[in-house]
Structure 1
């Protein structure tokens, strides 16, 4: 079933729909940049672990009578900071994420079972609830939309070196441990902040997929970040409008839209140079 253009226009006048659209627009500014970090640091397991940690935070929030999403954000932020010391190598971080993921889901299920809390409220967020986006969710996404691109602009050479080669960054005087910890916390908070928009199982549509398309289209860290944000805006707004028009769930439509963009980007011939090479080379001290 599809809606007429007039019906879609009427839907756009509703406050929950406007909040959802604003949240997606803000998410498109900050979260694709987080996806660039995930791909650049090769820390794919982090987002899976944070999904489970977010579920644990939601369960604790329901048990304590607190805002479940704020508890999920706090749990993810603390977990991101806690595993940062283990991020000396991708292998070390992958192992830590596997352990964290297992412990988090086990603890979440135990809390839900022992406390008698209705688990449907917690597991509903696995599938997303975009029209229930509230002021607190928009504030979190707005902060991420400012902080994440701001960090990249402020420390773009350091971030470029870190994403290109960790050892090279350390030898060049980059505060690798501190910067890695900050990036991991931002990744964790971004995953938790996007859960209500697409659901924990589909959060890649807002983070990873625009970054994958941007890596194919950009030739430097600066251009990759710009392409990621631009792709995120196009995908989020287009997918949301299509979902309203077709009267379909927004989460899957956003994923399919983003996936189509990634596939289209991969039809473009691959660049010869590594995307980080220009940034890393420019950051090295000159021999002259």
Structure 2
């Protein structure tokens, strides 16, 4: 009886427009954001997530101060920051340092704006915890664009991306436009973090980006298979986590993280059958010996 009642409650909730919009947003996010996670893991740029969280807070603070849409300001701030640090990303270590600097400057500027402007700081920080039922048309447009652009980029420049994720120097020697491609990837990562803020909050954005990629790299043996696995896991986690949150009347963000984390742990119990690095491209040009 309890199960039937709970199921009926979920069915009634799914008739509500905000719930339907939130579910659709999670489906769109599951197409593009896990692929962004593949980029984060492949380039070994874990600090980028934390830096963009702070940049998003700065954008939100500026939006509240100026009366503009806070989420739009966060999106623009993250995109510009991603492009701005790209020239410093000569190596993964250089990128990590750049992200550390960006994170420190962004949070300092955000706190300064909030302090001197009299803006309600709790309103800015609340957005970092997510508000999935407040997803609007603009959020769906951003997530839909990511769902198209990111997979399309992977299909269009698959060989170049595979080389870049495998070895930056090898990619450069092979004629890959490393600088331009890195800039594009960093901008996409930044936009993805900003675009997912309302879904899980910036502090829990890993559920939609990094965690599906971590599970996928265990199951895939090439960039293509890892990407497909990441999207499949993302869709499964997002739907299962969202329905579970509705059923139990729990906040969706933490439930999505715990669901994705459980999948990652379960996948890592599967014996690893390959010996090559998951980032190795399917066909890396070998140097001739003559």
TM over 0.5: yes
Aligned to 2:46: 44
Of the candidates 34, 58, 61, which is equivalent to residue 60 of structure 2? 58
Choose which of 115, 118, 121 in structure 1 pairs with 2:120: 118
Question: Following superposition of structure 1 onto structure 2, how do residues 68-217 of structure 1 map, counting pairs within 5 Å?
Answer: 68-217=70-219
Which of 218, 232, 250 matches 1:248?
250
Could you tell me which of 222, 225, 229 is aligned with 1:223?
Answer: 225
Structure 2 equivalent of residue 284 of structure 1: 285
Cα deviation 1:101-122 (Å, max 9, x = unaligned): 0110011111111111111211
The whole-number CA distance in structure 2 between the counterparts of 1:141 and 1:110 is 30
Instruction: State the Cα distance separating 1:241 from its structure 2 match.
Output: 0.1
The 10-residue stretch of structure 1 (67-76 or 119-128) with the greater mean CA deviation from structure 2: 119-128
For 2:278, which of 275, 278, 284 is the aligned residue? 275
Structure 1 residue runs of 4 or more that deviate by more than 2 Å after TM superposition: 276-279, 285-288
- For structure 2, the residue ranges without an aligned partner over 5 or more in a row are none
Deviations 1:182-214 (A, max 9, x none): 000000000000011001110000000000000
* Distance in 1 between residues matched to 2:64 and 2:21, nearest whole Å: 24
2:262 aligns with 260
Distance in structure 1 (CA, Å) of the matches to 2:46 and 2:108: 21
Q: CA shift at 1:179, angstroms?
A: 0.2
Kept after mapping to 1: 8 A contact 2:166/2:281: no
Question: By how many angstroms is 1:285 displaced?
Answer: 5.8
- SS of equivalent residue, structure 1 residue 277: coil
How far 1:277 sits from its partner (Å)?
Answer: 2.3
Q: Could you say which residue in structure 2 is the equivalent of 1:14? A: 16
Q: Distance in 1 between matches of 2:128 and 2:74?
A: 12
Return 5+ residue gaps in structure 1 as ranges: none
Is the Cα–Cα contact under 8 Å of residues 160 and 171 in structure 2 kept in the other structure? yes
Equivalent pair of 2:162/2:281 in contact (CA under 8 Å):
no
Distance 1:262 1:168 in 2: 30
Aligned length: 286
- 1:152-199 CA distance string (max 9 Å, x none): 000000000000000000000000000000000000000000011001
Structure 1 residue 287, shift from structure 2 partner: 4.9
Contact 2:38 2:213 in 1 (8 A): yes
SS in 2 for 1:117: coil
CA RMSD of aligned residues (A): 1.4
